[in-house]
Chains A and B, each alone.
Chain A
Amino acid sequence: MNLFNIISEIEKVDPEIHERLNPRRAAIKNITSFGSKVAVAAMPFALGTLFKKAYGQATSTVVDVLNFALTLEHLEAGFYNKGATTSGLIPSADSAYIGFVTRDENAHVKFLQGAITASGGTPVGPATFDFTGGNNKGNGPFPTVFSSYATFLAVAQVFEDTGVRAYKGQAPNLIGNQDILTAALSIHAVEARHASAIRKLRHDLGHDANIKPYIVSTASLGNDTGVAAANNNYKGEENVTQGGVNLVSALKVSVGVATASFDEPLSKEDVTALLVGSFIVSN
């Protein structure tokens, strides 16, 4: 492999490669010392580091991603904390089960606050929430969220599934940042564990006889929760094409299997549109 071949190959598809490299004095200066100081065997790795510097995301992007995540964790923690302190809502038989989720969401808030501060940013505080989804009027699609356990769990499931989608959507913004990306993926996995657990609880309690721990969409509807007000939270989950491979036609599997095998991401804009002005109060 030849370093300058690589750069010229990139130039063919990214004419701005020199601009990307040149303004970064520290990065470009390293190039001259590569030949003498870096063993040939280490070249691919050194090259990766060089390009990471040139293409790497700004710190502000990382802090933005973390504050976006913190906003969602505030929402979830606030929701479960309120549920836990509402007497008569969560049956005692389930208080430990829901308690694990509450514990984790509060831990996520703390962890993200620390990570943001350590990255030189300022953690956002909790927004004003309306868990009925009514933008502070208390009369949204879920007016019984804290008086009916079934509604509480339905909203919990939508929050968990949406949280999984939100973290997934942000992962590409963290490429090149090993610590933060790994932490975000680790929270993402825990949100998915919660989503699975809330779904199974809803099934076992008979709130939804057909619900599975994973999202089983149809060709026309991503939402498998039976909560029509949440259709947009699941929009796109009906996708059956992954990386150019149509799973249904190429692998001969059902739409249900194809959609349950892959969870879909949501952009920050989509998540914001879903939550702000309903669950997160906007003025």
Chain B
Amino acid sequence: MKTEINPITDGANMARRSFLRYAGASAAAVAVMGAAASCSKNDRVIVTPGGGADIGSGDPGILNYAYALEQLEAAFYLQVIATPYSGISAIETSYLTDIRDHEVVHRDFFKAALGSKAIAALTPDFSKIDFSSRDKVLGAAKAFEDLGVQAYDGAGYLIKDAGYLTIAGKIVSVEARHAALISNLISPGTFVPADQVNSDGLNKSASIAEVLAQANTYLKTKVSAVNYNYKP
């Protein structure tokens, strides 16, 4: 495994190395990932000519997929707090500030953890969202949170390493807490809405292709997943 110094993450490179070593029980899988990197194109991040980004494959691919979604969510809530909608209440400001902080932590965590394997910073496109409208902002927030939950639940089975799967699990339940909160803010008592939770009491899940098709409508930098049958 090469030990490149990433100019952006700098000291966080050490963190990335620890991250890769995190799952002691799955040392074999991690070692293979490192060894295979030198002979496989598949784990590399592909930067497409149009300025888009491809998540790649393997566990780093799934982590980059999560990183892309967290970048989108963080950018959205940063905007929400920078330009609050008219009539925002103190408790709503408090909740939305908390969520912004959580999404920024998720984004920065993935960037540090992925190190040199991370996709580039994505440029969002929120031109379709009216940030002055409570209904529009909370509606978009619900869409982002529900999408995030469906994405993590739908991609969990693609993760090979137990340590990474646990980390995805640690994040998805926080996204689900956000999703329920936003739904409750829109209309009290809608924390398990019929469009998200089925009659078996299961949250919906979605494929990478389904999720990225949605996410890309809010991104100037288009994200692809050629190894998972998705091109924008």
Residues of A within 8 A of B (CB): 1-2, 5-6, 9-10, 12-14, 17, 44, 48, 96-97, 100-101, 103-108, 110-111, 164, 167-168, 171-172, 175, 177-178, 181-183, 185-197, 200, 212-214, 242-247, 250-251, 253, 257-258, 260-265
Contacts and interface: CB of A to CB of B under 8 A. Distances in A.
A13 B27 contact: yes
Interface stretch (B46-54, B99-107, B124-132, B210-218): B99-107
A214 B102 contact: yes
B173 A12 contact: no
Contacts of B184: 196-197, 200
Contacts of B76: none
B141 to A, nearest CB: 13
Nearest to B105: A261
Contacts of A2: 39
A265 B162 contact: no
Given A193-B197, A196-B176, A244-B22, A188 B102 contact: no
B39 A1 contact: yes
User: Taking chain A's interface residues, is the majority helix, strand, or loop, or is none over half, making it mixed?
Assistant: helix
A107 B162 contact: no
Nearest to B188: A97
A181 B166 CA distance: 12
B178 to A, nearest CB: 8
B180 A192 contact: yes
B209 to A, nearest CB: 16
Given A107-B201, A182-B205, A244-B21, A188 B173 contact: yes
Contacts of B166: 168, 171-172, 265
B15 A213 contact: no
A182 B57 CA distance: 19
A200 B109 CA distance: 27
A12 B34 CA distance: 13
A1 B35 CA distance: 10
Contacts of B157: 175, 177-178, 181-182
Nearest 8 pairs between A and B by C-beta?
A: A244-B18, A107-B201, A192-B176, A172-B162, A189-B203, A192-B173, A196-B180, A193-B180
Contacts of B56: none
Interface residues of B, number: 70
Most central of A9, A96, A97 by chain B CB within 10 Å: A9
B32 A10 contact: yes
Nearest to A111: B200
Interface string B177-211: 11111001000110110000101111111000000
5 contacts: A182-B205, A188-B176, A243-B109, A257-B105, A261-B101
B153 A250 contact: no
B106 A164 contact: no
Contacts of A186: 153, 202-205
B122 interface: no
B176 A190 contact: yes
A78 B189 CA distance: 22
B140 interface: no
B152 interface: yes
B174 interface: yes
A193 B192 contact: yes
A265 B12 contact: no
Given A13-B27, A188-B173, A193-B192, A110 B149 contact: no
A178 B165 CA distance: 13
Given A195-B177, A261-B174, A175 B106 contact: no
Nearest to B154: A182
Contacts of A197: 180, 184, 191-192
Nearest to B108: A251
Contacts of B171: 261-262
B181 A200 contact: yes
B31 A10 contact: yes
Contact of B153 (A44, A177, A185): A185
A242 B109 contact: yes
B17 interface: yes
A263 B205 CA distance: 20
Contacts of B176: 188-190, 192-193, 196
A261 B188 CA distance: 23
B169 interface: yes
A257 B101 contact: yes
Contact of B202 (A105, A183, A195, A257): A183
Contact of A185 (B15, B160, B172, B200): B172
A164 B19 CA distance: 24
Contacts of B181: 196, 200, 213
Given A1-B39, A13-B28, A261-B102, A104 B177 contact: no
